[in-house]
Structures are given as C-alpha cells and as structure tokens.
Structure 1
Amino acid sequence: MKKLLLASSLCLTACSQLPYFGSEPPAKLSRPAPVEKPAIPVPAEVVDANEVANSETTEALATDFEHIFIDSDMTFEGVLPCADCPGISYHINLYRDGRFEARQEYLERGQVELISGSWLLERRTLHLVNQQVTLPSFHFRSNQQLVMTDLSGRPILNSDAYQLNRLTAVKKLDSRQPMLGLYRLQNNQATFVTCKTGESLPVANTQNHLPMMRLYQQDSRFNNKAVIASLVGRKGADQNGADTLFIDKFEQFWPNATCPDQFAMKDLQGIVWRAEKIADRYIPHSLNVRLIFEKDKLYGFSGCNNFNASYQQRANTFAVQQLASTRKFCADASNIEQQFTEKLQQADRAEVNADKLQLFYNNQVIMELIPAVN
C-alpha cells in the first residue's frame, strides 16, 4: 500500500512540470500580449456656439438644452429673405395656451397677411399651423432666437439672414393693412365690404373716419350708394365686442370702379389697378401708385400727385395723352413717380393677361399692374 501511494505521488510531481534538457530550467511561459485594434474614428459633433449649454442653471429654467417649453407668451421679429423682393418682415406672437398670431409683410410689395392658428412644438422645431396659409417652420436655437428650417427640416445656420429674435416684452400685433372695398354711408352709419374677402364690417366713427365721411356726403354722385374706396385700416372689437373696422388713413374714392373678379377680367376699364412693376423693378406698395380707366379718360395717384388724362384704345393700339397733374414734391416718391408717368405716356399697347395688366412699348413690357384688392 505504501509503495502504491509513493508511486502516485511521484507521477503527479512529474506531470506538473515540463521536461527540459540542460543545467538551467527554462523561463516560465507567459500569455501573448493582446493585439490592440485600431480605434474607429468618431465624427466630431458640430457645436452651435449660440446654443445654451446644459448646466444646473439652465436645467432650472423652462428652457433646457434638449427641449423648449413655451410656458410664457413670446414675441419674435425679423426680416427673412425673399426671392423677388427685399425681404419678408415677420412679427410672430406665441401664446402659452397653444395659439399664435403672425403678421407677414412682403417689403416694397405691400402684401400684408394677418395669420392666426395653433403652434406645435417637436423638441426644438416650431410648426405654425393654419389651414389656408403655409408658414415656414423654425428651430429654437435658444429661447431667445428662432432660425428658419430648410425643406429637410434642418435649421439654416450658415447665414444670420434666417433668424428671428425675441423681444424683451410681448408686443401687440400690428393689424393695420391696406384695404380696398365698397364703402356706404347712411344716417351717419358707414359699412365697408372688403373686396379681398367679401366681409362686411361696420366702420367706427373715429377721427380718421371723419374726412372720408365728409367727402362722401359732399359728392352728389354717391347719394347713399356703395362706392369703391381705398384705405389703411384694421379690424378690431367695439365696446360690445362686435367686429368693427377702424380706419387709420383714408386714401381715395374710386367712382365707377368695382371689386375685381380675377376669373372674369378681360377689359381694363372699371378696375382699380395698382402699379406693381416698372420694367423689372417692384414699386413700393406704400407709394400707392394706382389708376383707373373709364370710357375715354383715366385718373389716379402716382405716389405723390393726383393725375388725369385722356386715352385711346383701338384694337391693338393704345395711347395716353399728356397728363394733367398736381405739383407737389415728395422726396421719397418723385423718382418713382417720374418713371411711372413717363412709361404710362410711352405705352403703345395694353393687354389684360390672366390677372395682370401689361403695358408695352415696341413689343417690350414696360409696366405691369395688378387689380388692387388691398
């Protein structure tokens, strides 16, 4: 039994060592060093220098670096680029109850849109929702700045031209806009039906309305009849909360004019035309360059002065006689006025094409006019 245990012990001892030859035992073998894999490069994150970094301070505010919370009323303003005008001026009010109001004005074209609806916020992307008008979407760069997004929904950060900045306090929306419509006065109570929407509004008897009332009462042609008028006004609520027109500035009456019907315009007569372009240059809407053609005469306003003239239109020929005009000087309008009157008297052909009146000279378009609906 002892011999068996001794044999087993010797066998275990022999199996625990590697055989070697020579006087010195070999060094102990070590595991091979792991091979380092090449690091996969990670694209550097683009950092927006104007974006508020996350911290204990920003986390405590309503706006953090991940989400925007519209928990107070906000006003943003700015001018965004426009393809065929100097820019589009925006005034946007965001209300914490989910509503928005916006004023969109195409500069030099005088096209003003007052838009309201609801806003949706998707992380930092703001959508302004209205069923009739499509507005751009914006990215909250911070809670002080909106940046317009491109068609793919990414903020346009390569130019400061696409930014709207927040005002320090909420600003009431300027709801004044140019209007053209049918004005009627009976028993010192006036109504105004807008050509653009057909909405009928009572007119508030304010100080700015008095000159319009007097001119209407003094003109025997009107006699309680509806007459086209152009003005600058706003829709608001009276003391009883009813929708009312408040006139800011009366411009002119246009006897024998009607509201334009863009689907049935064939003749140039009876429409108040607004000069939109001289050659390829837009005429600022604020100058109110307009005219109307009657049977054999025309009259209008050229930005500074009133004018009238005789004209002839036969087949494809058109000719305006020498203009008679008042002689005021307006520094901001005289250059445009001179170009307008020169081109009007130069025209040798007039055509109503779609919703535009085009004046030609030697088969070249020298002026474009559109029906005035505001």
Structure 2
Amino acid sequence: MKKLVVVTALLLSACSQLPDIGADKPTTLSAEKQPVLAVPIPAPVTDASEVANNDTTESLATDFEHIFIDTDMTFEGVLPCADCSGIAYHINLYRDGRFEARQEYLGRGQVQLISGSWLLEKRTLHLINQQSTLPVFHFRSNQHLVMTDLAGKPILSSEAYQLSRYASLKKLDQRQPLLGMYQLKNNVATFITCQNGDTLPVANTQNHLPMMRLYQQDTRLNNKPVIATLVGRKSADQHGIDTLYIDKFEQFWPNATCPDQFAQKQLQGIVWRAEKVANRYIPHQLNVRLIFEKDRLYGFSGCNNFNAGYQQRANTLSVQPLASTRKFCAEASNIEQQFTEKLQQVDRAEVNADKLQLFFNNQVILELVPAVN
C-alpha cells in the first residue's frame, strides 16, 4: 500500500514540472497541442423590411453622407413670403458649377431671372450672384432642398420651406414682365430694357405684329422711341444672338422715360406701378399703372384704360373724374374699383425716395413705385 502511494506522488510531481526553455525563449505549443475553441456560427437572419439594392436605393446612397452634384438637377417649390402669398422658385443646378433660377412673387407677379454659380459645403448650398441675394439651402436628401435660417440651420419644422427635385432637368420659364424703350425702323424693331439697359432685337413673331401695327398707326410716334410694357422672354436666335420674343403686348406710354435710379424722382414723365391700395398689395399681373403728363394723367386699372385731368400746386393734388372704358374682368373688378375710387379722392402727393405716396386727409391711400418691368 505504501509503495502505491509513493508511485502516485511521483507521477503527480512529474506532471507539474515545466520544461526549462530559458527566460529569453518564447513559449510555443505544437499544432497538435493547441486547444481548439468551438465557436457556434449563427444562422442568417432575414429582415422582412430589407429591400434588395436597385437603381433607386443606389441613387439615394448619398443621403447619409456628402451630397455630390454630378448631374444636372431641377428643384421647384413655393416658399413663404412676408408680404405676398408665396415665392415660387424654379432652380436649375448644373454640374459645371452654374445655376439658373426663376423667382416669382405670387399675387404680385414680380419675376426675377437670376443666374450665377453655386458653392456646395458638405450639404449647404450657396447660390452666388453679384446683384441678387438668394436663400441658402440645405440638402435634406438629394431629393429635397430645405431653406436655412439666419443661423445657417435648416428649417425642418415645416415642409413649407422645402423645394423638391423634379424627375428630370426642366427648362427654365424665361417669360417676365418688361418695360423699356421700343423703336421700329424699316420693320426692324429694337427694345432697350429699363431694368438693366439691355438692347435686344425684337423677333417678328405673331405676337409682335399687333405692337408693330399700333406703332405705325400712331402719328405721335413717327419712328421715335417710346416706352412700352409687355410680357416677353430673352432667348438666342438661330445665329446665337440674344433676341426678345414677345408673348403679350400691353401698352405704349408716350412722353415717358426710363426712371433714373440715381436721380430724385419727379411726378411727371414716369410710368408708376400701383403697389398698394389702402395698405393692400395689388397683384403685379394686373399691371395697374399710370403716368402724369403736363395737365392730364392716363393709365390702366387692371381691366380698363382710363384718363383724367388733374391739378397740382406744390404737394397738393386734385384729380378730376375719370373717363374709362367699360370692360368687365372678374379677377380685377374689386381691385380696379378700389383703385379708381381712391385715385379720385387724392388731395396730396409726395415722392419719397423710390415711392409715390398719394394722400387723403393725411392718410396714405395709394402707394406707387417707378415701373421697370
């Protein structure tokens, strides 16, 4: 029995000894002696909401990273406006770094065509133009632009501040109201815009013919330049020359001139566009305008032409009863009635900076601005 205990102790002592491999030699185990850990491999889990990659998911991949304008894009939408029913935007972004935009103040008909270059900082889009200031936008995704606030943060509280991407690049609508100097010589017409001084040949299209006939029939004009109001668009002709294409002729304004933005405005000789009647904005597309000549005034009240005599002494002004055509236009009748009534009540006129204010009993009842379009 003692012999068995001694043999067992010797065997246990031998198993506890480590081989002497020296302090500077690494300890290694042979491949046969390395322990093998059995790690279970989980079975694949199928997500019922997962959708396989396709053209749509691949095109949206940049939604979660940086945005790249590597194709021509069109964005459209209506943004809020403090003093109108909204501002409609059509913005074309071109991959070569250019942009074109159409900005229309709804209800006022004021249209601006703006072009320039764009700058993209991660998701922030800057539209750069020397003469105009446009909103800064944030790419919420490559399908939506969101206007930023004054701190540069995207306004995400309402979709009213968002423009949506059109399915494909959409041609910009170039039509806009224009006011400028028109002249016809030997059936060749030119038009100089009052807004920026561009001199444009006028295309002899069907919409131009009524304007040509009226110019030729009016003995006061006799080949002289005359201010005209119209709706038109500038586009290159077949030879690449910028040309004016008239969509709608409105009116000639004999004895008027383009307003000088640097000179003190005078009452006479300027086409005034009515902007407000009794603190209510007048839709621009109604083209409510008038001009004061030496002892008479005439204009367009949204549906009808009118004229009247007037008297002015210093700032006092009195307008005689209006003579007017008698057409009915449902969309203009309310504004037209208010405008003509207020015009005949005027007792004082003041030109302040770039506005003409007409008063009655020391209250502004009509506000007008020099028309440049």
Query: Where in structure 2 are the equivalents of 1:256-295 lying within 5 Å?
Result: 256-295=255-294
Q: Return the offset for 1:262.
A: 2.7
Deviations 1:185-234 (A, max 9, x none): 00000000111111111000011100000000011111111000001111
Code of the aligned partner of 2:167: T
Deviations 1:137-194 (A, max 9, x none): 1111112111101122211001111010111122110111111110000000000011
Corresponding position of 1:338? 337
2:145 and 2:162 in contact (8 A); partners too: yes
Q: Is the 8 A contact 1:75 1:166 kept in 2?
A: yes
For 1:210 and 1:359, the matched residues in 2 are separated by 37
1:207 counterpart SS class: coil
Counterparts of 1:266 and 1:91 in 2: how far apart (Å)? 34
Check if 1:237 corresponds to 2:230. Answer: no
Inter-partner Cα distance in structure 1 for 2:158 and 2:79: 11
Aligned to 2:214: 215
Deviation at 1:84, TM superposition (A): 1.8
Query: Residue 54 of structure 1 contacts residue 65 of structure 1 at CA under 8 Å; is this kept in 2?
Result: no
- State the SS of the aligned residue for 1:184: strand
TM-aligned CA deviation for residue 128 of structure 1: 1.1
User: Contact 2:259/2:265 (CA < 8 Å) preserved in 1?
Assistant: no
Q: Sequence identity, in percent?
A: 81
Distance of 2:189 and 2:354 partners within structure 1: 30
Aligned residues: 322
| Unmatched 5+ stretches in structure 2 | 1-49
Structure 1 distance, partners of 2:245, 2:86, is 28
- 3-state secondary structure, aligned to 1:132: coil
Larger mean Cα displacement after TM superposition, 70-79 or 260-269: 260-269
Q: Is the 8 A contact 2:318 2:347 kept in 1?
A: yes
CA gap 1:129/1:316 in 2 versus in 1, 3 angstroms:
closer
For 2:223, the equivalent position in structure 1 comes to: 224
- Within 5 Å, which residues of 2 pair with 1:137-286? 137-286=136-285
Question: Residue type of the partner of 1:355?
Answer: D
Q: What code does the residue aligned with 1:77 have?
A: E
Q: 1:48 corresponds to which residue?
A: none
Cα distance between partner residues in 2 of 1:128 and 1:354: 30
- Corresponding residue number in structure 2 for 1:369: 368
CA contact (8 A) 2:265 2:354 kept: no
Q: Tell me the residue number matched to 1:307.
A: 306
Q: Structure 2-normalised TM-score?
A: 0.83
C-alpha distance in structure 2 between counterparts of 1:131 and 1:217, whole Å? 40
Determine helix, strand or coil for the equivalent of 1:213. helix
Instruction: Check whether the contact 1:54–1:64 (CA below 8 A) recurs between aligned residues.
Output: no
- Is 1:77 the counterpart of 2:76? The answer is yes
Task: Measure the CA separation in 1 of the matches of 2:130 and 2:261.
Answer: 22
**CA RMSD for the aligned pairs?**
1.7
| Alignment partners' CA distance in 1, 2:57 and 2:204 | 53
Instruction: Tell me the CA shift for residue 54 of structure 1.
Output: 12
2: distance between equivalents of 1:90 and 1:343?
34
Read off the aligned partner of 2:245 and give its amino acid letter.
Answer: F
Q: What is the TM-score when the length of structure 1 is the normalising length? A: 0.83
How does 1:62-141 map onto structure 2 within 5 Å?
63-141=62-140
